Structure 1
Amino acid sequence: MNEITIIKPDDWHLHFRDDDMLLETVPATARCFSRAIVMPNLVPPVMNADMALSYKERILSARPQGSDFMPLMTLYLTDKTSVEDIKAAKQAGVVAVKMYPAGATTNSDSGVTSVESRYPIFEALAENDMLLLIHGEVTHNHVDIFDREKEFIDQHMTKIVESVPNLKVVFEHITTKDASDFVLSAREGVAATITPQHLMMNRNDMLVGGVRPHNYCLPVLKRSSHQEALRQVVASGSNRFFLGTDSAPHARHKKENACGCAGCYSAWSALELYTQVFEELDALDKLEGFASLHGPDFYGLPRNTDTVTLVKEEWQVPDSINLANGEPIVPFFSGREVSWKLKA
């Protein structure tokens, strides 16, 4: 197969950042995605409806001329989030709330310190037909970083899903066989997003031959057996899994640092890389479901009507991309060949 046309996809998990960064990240996403779930972990975080609407306007202002790309906004769950905040967010068109355990990833210091205290908010989300998006890792210092996803499942995820049976839950950017098995066996209303880096790489790609900071993300890359489990579950075509890039830009100097930031900026190659993975798995017939159908179906939103076409053509991801201020960003898969290209 040298060409594939699919319904225009959406990105169900990404980070745009803010201010001047939007001039890079919004066009990069809008080139091939119709909608995107926008993460709220700005500084300060997006904690209420007014902040979400203001952020949405800044994103819309950064769209390329003629683009109809639409951001889907989320709130950042804190220990102080109230039921009233949820009701106001629903009225403002916010579709979901994101829960970060405090300290789990970039700009998560304001996250939840007690999951148990948030159950009234989980109930309010279910009552208002809003989704709960979960960064599923514990953050206790004594828990090995490679085990934190499984520990979160055992300590919290199972209880959340069982205790609030009408709540739609997305287990974000899963990285382990434990997580994929959990989602497959869970009740209706539980799904997961999977990133390109977790399908294409394992922890060897981050650590062998030297530390590779541009492959460092959170949740961190795991061993190859977990990578293979994720690849098999997307190849199966299960509608519980869908595209979420977790595209997360940082300036080069913040990645190539003694204490580098977590995140892979994949927006410029993500759809092409997903296509490459599905071809490797002999599962190109499952790509449209994963990229374009399962997400809107789970969120209860209409499927897109436009299409995009990818062609079998080699191209190279740039070594770096310069922001408007001249600051460079190193994109995910930089300097490497990709075998599929979005048709103009």
Structure 2
Amino acid sequence: MTRFGYTLMTEQSGPRELVRYAADAERVGFDFEVSSDHFFPWIEEQGHAPYAWSVLGAVSQVTSRVDLMTYVTCPTVRYHPAVVAQKAATLGVLSGGRFTLGLGAGENLNEHVVGERWPAVGERHDMLEEAIEVIRSLLEGERLTYDGVHFRTDSAQLWDLPEDPVEIAVAVSGAQSISRFAPLADHLVATDPESSLIQRWNDAHDGPSRAIGQIPISWDPDPEVATQRAHEQFRWFAGGWHVNADLPTTEAFDAATQYVRPEDVAQSIPCGPDLDAIVEAVSAYWEAGFTDIALVQVGDAAQQRFLDEAAGPLLDKLRAAAPALES
């Protein structure tokens, strides 16, 4: 069956809350949990950005069944890829093999903080390709001396590795990135429910692969409250990833979204108590071929009530509606 996940949205919740939500998400029946990896929230109203790797380390100890994943980490500017490999291997050990390393080319919002310039997209892809080569080699246990255009290592080696190497998922958005990264990754990450992305990936990828997507929802018993919360916390979502990748600050996102209205947000994010409406929105992903779909419940104030009251019945409805996956 299609697998359904819960998003640990580090931009909208503090670290202690995220760990608590993670334990509750496993309890109510989610199959996996993904964590964003940000230095900044998207907009100031969200108000948080704890270190994802510390959060995931704690989550690995309060859960025992759900798979864990970064959605996604940029291994090129803020982090050196050798350090990302070490973090991923450690999470693999702590979780007992439940961790998948999700990687992507990143956003200016999170990477500018170390004082380096923000590269153009072509150079970011060059950097990501080198980073994956370094990370893959280290996760497979190599002692690595690497001399690339963008990264170097000198006799790097990981001393604590899980029994099976951590698998790598890579975020892609079009034909060029798919053709480049499908041969290097184990799994696909994408934000839009486009079947053409899945088909291109499957054509370019050697062997079985998961396709992992993510969709925001704003559940609340009061539709108006749900819509207002989605507008306050998630209006940045309207810009699309080609815009979101390049804006550098929360002030920039606020300015870019100043004319986005609550009703505009409600057209792209299901808002309110209607679980069937959420199922209909999520169905676009499994119809496109996604095997794993992570839900983002908008707003910290709504998380606990969503997990206590809505998540279980919603998962039942989603599993009843989703098709069985082909083996």
Normalization by structure 2: what TM-score?
A: 0.50
Q: Structure 1 residue 132 and structure 2 residue 169: aligned?
A: yes
Shift of 1:167: 1.4
- Match 1:22 to one of 18, 41, 49: 18
Q: Distance in 2 between matches of 1:86 and 1:28?
A: 28
Are residues 219 and 123 of structure 1, via their aligned partners in 2, closer, same or farther at CA, if it must alter by over 3 Å? farther
Q: Distance in 2 between matches of 1:122 and 1:132?
A: 10
Q: Distance in 2 between matches of 1:29 and 1:230?
A: 18
Tell me which amino acid in the other structure corresponds to 1:234. W
Shift of 1:120: 0.8
Aligned to 2:178: 161
Q: Mind listing any 5+ residue stretches in structure 2 that lack a counterpart?
A: 40-48, 93-98, 140-165, 239-264, 269-277
Shift of 1:159: 2.4
Q: Structure 1 residue 213 and structure 2 residue 228: aligned?
A: yes
- Match 2:131 to one of 121, 125, 132: 121
| 2:81–2:132 CA contact under 8 A, matched in 1 | no
The aligned runs of 1:241-252 (5 Å cut-off) are 241-247=291-297, 249-251=299-301
Q: Distance in 2 between matches of 1:90 and 1:27?
A: 20
Q: Structure 1 residue 197 and structure 2 residue 211: aligned?
A: no
Shift of 1:22: 3.4
Q: Structure 1 residue 33 and structure 2 residue 27: aligned?
A: no
Q: What does the per-residue CA deviation read over 1:69-109, in whole Å, with 9 as the maximum and x for residues that have no partner? A: 456253732514323223323431253044364257xx787
Percent identity over the alignment? 11
Q: Distance in 2 between matches of 1:87 and 1:57?
A: 15
Tell me which amino acid in the other structure corresponds to 1:231. S
RMSD, aligned α-carbons: 4.7
Shift of 1:264: 12
SS in 2 for 1:123: helix
The aligned runs of 1:329-340 (5 Å cut-off) are none
Aligned to 2:89: 91
Q: Distance in 2 between matches of 1:160 and 1:264?
A: 37
Normalization by structure 1: what TM-score?
A: 0.48
Q: Structure 1 residue 182 and structure 2 residue 197: aligned?
A: yes
Q: Distance in 1 between matches of 2:107 and 2:32?
A: 28
Tell me which amino acid in the other structure corresponds to 2:217. Q
Shift of 1:244: 0.9
Tell me which amino acid in the other structure corresponds to 2:81. V
Tell me which amino acid in the other structure corresponds to 2:59. I
Tell me which amino acid in the other structure corresponds to 1:25. Y
Q: Mind listing any 5+ residue stretches in structure 1 that lack a counterpart?
A: 1-5, 47-51, 137-152, 201-205, 253-262, 298-344
Tell me which amino acid in the other structure corresponds to 1:192. I
| 1:102–1:108 CA contact under 8 A, matched in 2 | yes
| 1:126–1:167 CA contact under 8 A, matched in 2 | no
Are residues 210 and 39 of structure 1, via their aligned partners in 2, closer, same or farther at CA, if it must alter by over 3 Å? closer
Shift of 1:229: 8.8
Q: How many aligned residue pairs are there?
A: 225
- Match 2:283 to one of 221, 228, 231: 231
Q: Structure 1 residue 276 and structure 2 residue 291: aligned?
A: no
Q: Structure 1 residue 68 and structure 2 residue 85: aligned?
A: no
| 2:217–2:297 CA contact under 8 A, matched in 1 | no
| 1:249–1:265 CA contact under 8 A, matched in 2 | no
